[in-house]
């Protein structure tokens, strides 16, 4: 492969006193990967959650060509308060077949004082399936092509949602839900001033919920609900299989809670 065509995985993780502060990653051509090292370093050092004392940046040549996938369809539900937001998230999860106990386990995990670097894998009834309880599962080796990213920016900008946080979370979720064994996901940022979270599934797409948590809270996390068979295969896919978003599935804009049933039918 020529220097310009091969893709590298570039990953950043920042910590303070051994505790995870922030992370980011993408797939880039070699020349761009070199520039991203500087950008990720700067971003790690200026992250809102506190100054890290260690930043690790990894550059890794991919062994296989990344799988090309579309981004999930994007929707935002109108919401003003965490209590309502949580109810909406639960309606969405229930529609994906997640039981009450599954939701409770996910909320408890997300509400823990010290977050993990990764998310957790749960079955639909809330049984923890990933082997390393203190580490969780880190979804890795995903990215978006420059062209799809430009289109995504344009699509999101039409609704005033074009932020790096949204684009990156959408890329992560698009990778996760491209796997047929993944049932649903609940995500709340651990950033104290980022209160929008989301529920995602292949059918629902990526459904953003503003004010899913109170302003100022550092609690956050991700729970991935999966089928119980072939957990090692799902883990391997989430952590190691390179996947790149190369197309979009559109955006439904801002909807009210009444539209939730339609999200499950419109395909
Ligand atoms: N793999 C698995 N879990 C992760 C990963 C990853 N690569 N990155 C973060 N997490 C987990 C981890 O437990 C974090 O504590 C938690 O998710 C939150 O991470 O459209 O910014 O990076 O406006 O703070 C949602 C965007 C933003 C909603 C989510 O997450 C929107 C966000 P953060
Ligand atoms: Mg964060």
Are 113 and 173 in the same domain?
yes
Tell me if 157 is assigned to some domain.
yes
Are 82 and 203 in the same domain?
yes
Distance between Cα 113 and ligand 2 center (Å): 14
Tell me if 2 is assigned to some domain.
no
Tell me if 1 is assigned to some domain.
no
Distance between Cα 217 and ligand 2 center (Å): 11
Six-digit token string for 231 = 């957990």
Residue where one domain finishes, among candidates 19, 37, 63 = 63
pLDDT at 1: 46
Query: Which 3-state string (H, E, C) describes the chain?
Result: CCCCCCEEEEEEEEEECCEEEEEEEEEEEHHHHHHHHHHHHHHHHCCCCCCCCEEEEEEEECCCCCEEEECCCEEEECCCCHHHHHHHHHHHHHHCCCCHHHHHHHHHHHCCCCCCCCEEEECCCCCECCCCCCCCECCCCEEECHHHHHHHHHHHHCCCCCCHHHHHHHHHHHHHHCCCCEEEEEEECCCCCCCCEEEEECCCEEEEECCCCCCCCCCCEEEEEECCCCHHHHHHHHHHCCEEEEECCCEEEEECHHHHHHHHHCC
- Regions of the chain short of the pLDDT cut 70: 1-4, 48-49, 266-267
The residue length of the chain stands at: 267
Are 134 and 21 in the same domain?
no
Q: Which of 168, 156, 218 is nearest to 189 (CA)?
A: 218
Instruction: Determine whether the shortest distance from the Cβ of 76 to ligand 1 is under 6 A.
Output: no
Are 44 and 81 in the same domain?
no
pLDDT at 28: 97
Query: Taking the CA of residue 260 as centre, how many other CA atoms within 13 Å lie in the half-sphere pointing to its CB?
Result: 20
Q: Which of 39, 43, 27, 254 is nearest to 149 (CA)?
A: 27
Residue where one domain finishes, among candidates 63, 81, 107 = 63
Six-digit token string for 164 = 């790096």
Six-digit token string for 177 = 């839900």
Ligand 1 mutation target, pool 187, 195, 218, most atoms within 8 A of CB: 187
Are 117 and 151 in the same domain?
yes
Are 106 and 149 in the same domain?
yes
Are 72 and 147 in the same domain?
yes
Are 181 and 57 in the same domain?
no
Tell me if 207 is assigned to some domain.
yes
Neighbours of 61 (CB within 10 A): 11
Distance between Cα 1 and ligand 1 center (Å): 33
Q: Count of domains in the chain?
A: 2
Q: Which of 214, 155, 212, 205 is nearest to 185 (CA)?
A: 205
Are 85 and 57 in the same domain?
no
Are 51 and 180 in the same domain?
no
Tell me if 31 is assigned to some domain.
yes
Return the ligand number nearest the Cα of 168.
Answer: 1
Instruction: Determine whether the shortest distance from the Cβ of 208 to ligand 1 is under 6 A.
Output: yes
Are 44 and 164 in the same domain?
no
Neighbours of 88 (CB within 10 A): 19
Tell me if 59 is assigned to some domain.
yes
Residue where one domain finishes, among candidates 43, 63, 83 = 63
Tell me if 253 is assigned to some domain.
yes
The 10s digit of each residue's pLDDT in 206-252 is 999 999 999 999 899 999 999 999 999 999 999 999 999 999 999 99
Instruction: Determine whether the shortest distance from the Cβ of 175 to ligand 1 is under 6 A.
Output: no
Predicted structure pTM score: 0.96
Tell me if 189 is assigned to some domain.
yes
Q: Which domain holds residue 235?
A: 68-263
Are 129 and 72 in the same domain?
yes
């Amino acid at each position: 492969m020529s220097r310009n065509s091969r893709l590298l995985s570039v990953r950043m993780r920042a910590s303070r006193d051994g505790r995870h502060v922030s992370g980011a990653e993408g797939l880039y051509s070699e020349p761009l990967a070199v520039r991203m090292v500087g950008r990720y370093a700067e971003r790690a050092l200026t992250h809102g959650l506190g100054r890290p004392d260690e930043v690790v940046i990894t550059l890794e040549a991919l062994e296989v060509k990344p799988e090309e996938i579309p981004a999930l369809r994007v929707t935002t539900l109108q919401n003003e308060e965490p209590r309502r937001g949580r109810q909406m998230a639960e309606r969405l999860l229930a529609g994906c077949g997640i039981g009450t106990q599954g939701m409770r386990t996910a909320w408890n995990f997300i509400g823990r004082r010290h977050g993990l670097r990764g998310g957790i894998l749960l079955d639909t009834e809330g049984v923890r399936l990933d082997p390393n309880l203190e580490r969780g599962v880190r979804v890795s080796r995903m990215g978006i092509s420059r062209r799809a990213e430009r289109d995504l920016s344009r699509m999101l900008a039409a609704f005033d949602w074009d932020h790096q946080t949204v684009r990156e979370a959408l890329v992560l979720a698009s990778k996760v839900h491209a796997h047929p064994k993944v049932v649903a996901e609940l995500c709340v940022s651990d950033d104290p001033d980022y209160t929008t979270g989301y529920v995602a599934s292949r059918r629902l797409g990526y459904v953003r919920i503003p004010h899913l948590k109170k302003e100022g809270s550092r609690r956050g996390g991700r729970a991935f609900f999966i089928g119980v068979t072939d957990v090692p295969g799902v883990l391997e896919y989430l952590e190691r299989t390179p996947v790149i978003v190369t197309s979009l599935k559109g955006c439904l804009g801002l909807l009210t809670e009444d539209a939730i049933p339609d999200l499950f039918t419109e395909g």
